[in-house]
Structure 1
Amino acid sequence: MNAGYRLIGPNKCGATKAYNGLAYAKEDDPTITILFDINAEIAGIQTRIKVSDEQRTGFPPKSLRPPFVLDGKDNDSYVLTAYFEDPSKICTEQRRERLEVKSTGENLWIQTGSSPSEVMKIAKNQSDISAPWVEGKCFVTMGMHYWYNTTADSNCDELLPVFLLYNGGRLNGFGFVALADIESAYYEHPEYKDFKMFMKEVPKCLESKGRISTTHVYMTRPLLNYC
């Protein structure tokens, strides 16, 4: 691995109980880590929040641990994982068929439990998505947003820290959300007033959160995203 990336987890696929894959981070910022399978293909992506940031901000709260799972050297971070291929196959000898399309992946699993066997598979077709996912708003270059079980009266400590993006009726992106001000070049920092552009009904609890931290992951080129 080059371009400034370094292995930040075990050097054997499947050696950690927190996720499946080999985790690499760029330079000295592990906020976003890339997962590779046993065949050296991209298999997933993670966001990591240092325990020191959790102690400072209170995020992630205990009610979101999992999907955030304690990991890292000396258990120094909480990790939230998304997979582009079936996590049960990432550390086996089975090679997936190479994608015919020029994209990172066509499938998405969100790890919701403390092990990679506990995942939520996301609908590829927008027509197949259903409650408790809630349709948000379209934002050009991002897509049609979907949020998990959100209402105006939602408890922020119970909000799934993931949103989905659909374009042309197909899943082609998603994002991670940390309801805290986490410093990283990988994060952008919307405030409560900004969420009306992405949600039809904004949880009132977000108003007290100040700057939060989000990042978008695109599986195809975002400039083509017109919802």
Structure 2
Amino acid sequence: MDLLALSVILVAFCFQCTWQEVSSWADRDSWNYLSLRYGIWHKPAPTIMAALRDGYVRKNNNCKTRNHIGFLYHRHGDTISMPIYDSNGRIAGIQSSIPGNMWGYNSQNKTISLPPPNLIPPFLHGSQNSRGIPWYTLTAYFKHPRLICNPTDTKARRGRGLFIQMGLNAESEYMEIPLHSKDLSPHWVKGTCMPQMGMHYFMNLSRDMPCENLYPVFLMYNTEGQLGAFGWSFQGNPSQRNIPGDMSWFKLEPTFYPFLFGSTQLPKCMHYEKFRVSGMHIWLRDPNTMLCTAATVPVTRPTTTTVATSRTQATVDIAIESQEPISLSDSLTPNLCVIMLTILMLVL
């Protein structure tokens, strides 16, 4: 075999190895389970191809936009659950929108417009509908935002995660959620633990909290302290479409507060008869693993890494769970390709 033919075969071999490595990265960047509940149980399509088969339509052609990063899809005018896919066509996040024409109440039970300005971000200004009503978005990513449009970015931490967009530049303006409850800041306050949901955590929730400060993001951890779900919760009562099988926000009246919040941690204004909380739960793990009593779960092997964000420097635990062993093509083969190509160049 002449050297030219050998070089062609070697280049093709190395391309295959590199593609396998990128594919393995994508697998490790994904959560094993993703489902939502708001009126009905819903599992977002894991890939763009599956989303298209389910009737979803792409909203943007450029991976990087003013309001989010990645390719946003929607179906039948639904603004509650709009999946986001990365450049490899895998689900990488979710965005929800609420109308900007709702009214709520402050600590004195006086009427205010929603969302309150102090909750922007994580609420971000979206687009306007055909009637000129502005929309506000909440956006979460399931891996580092820098990897969504550029899966080979070497500056971003790999592995699954949860990142809440906090500005127009999603690659640098985000809040990274700890994967373990022990790494939460004191601002996250324990709520109620519910089977299939886990232990709820709310931002700065207390009896002295002004009701206009009800933070729209909450977290849920299992009995091992592992992040397993999160959700949106906000003041307001968005209108619903009366379509059978359609998705809807959960509506939380004061009588149902104990299912989420601790009984002694709510401000008096949240018990005002007209005060309403709406929201949605988003699971990253199987709900059957989100228990509130001691349970036998696979032992994880935590490794600690320091991740820099645009706002803070935080140390978090990355839980390695039942991942496939790294194959030869993931670890040794790319380096072998470099050596072989170097030898071939010297021979030529």
From 223, 233, 253, the equivalent of 1:191 is 253
Gaps of 5+ in 2: 1-51, 105-110, 241-246, 293-348
- After superposition, residues 67-216 of structure 1 pair within 5 angstroms as 67-72=122-127, 76-94=134-152, 106-116=160-170, 117-167=172-222, 168-184=224-240, 185-200=247-262, 201-208=265-272, 209-216=274-281
Cα deviation for residue 53 of structure 1 reads: 4.2
When normalised by structure 2's length, the TM-score is: 0.57
Equivalent pair of 1:60/1:68 in contact (CA under 8 Å): yes
Equivalent pair of 1:106/1:172 in contact (CA under 8 Å): no
Equivalent pair of 2:85/2:92 in contact (CA under 8 Å): yes
Cross-structure match for 2:297: none
Cα deviation for residue 189 of structure 1 reads: 0.4
Larger Rg: 2
Change in CA separation of 1:72 and 1:158 when aligned onto 2, cut-off 3 Å: same
Name the SS for the 1:90 alignment partner: helix
| Aligned counterparts of 1:156 and 1:7: Cα–Cα separation in 2 | 37
Cα deviation for residue 79 of structure 1 reads: 0.6
Percent of pairs with identical residues: 35
Q: CA offsets, 1:10-54, max 9 Å, x none?
A: 21100x222211111232211221111111111111110123447
Moved more, 191-200 or 217-226: 191-200
Cross-structure match for 2:285: 220
Paired AA for residue 97 in structure 2: R
Paired AA for residue 12 in structure 1: N
The structure showing larger relative contact order (alpha-carbon pairs under 8 Å, at least 6 residues apart) is 2
Alignment length (residue pairs): 217
Moved more, 195-204 or 122-131: 195-204
- After superposition, residues 24-35 of structure 1 pair within 5 angstroms as 24-35=73-84
More helix as a share of residues: 2
Cross-structure match for 1:100: none
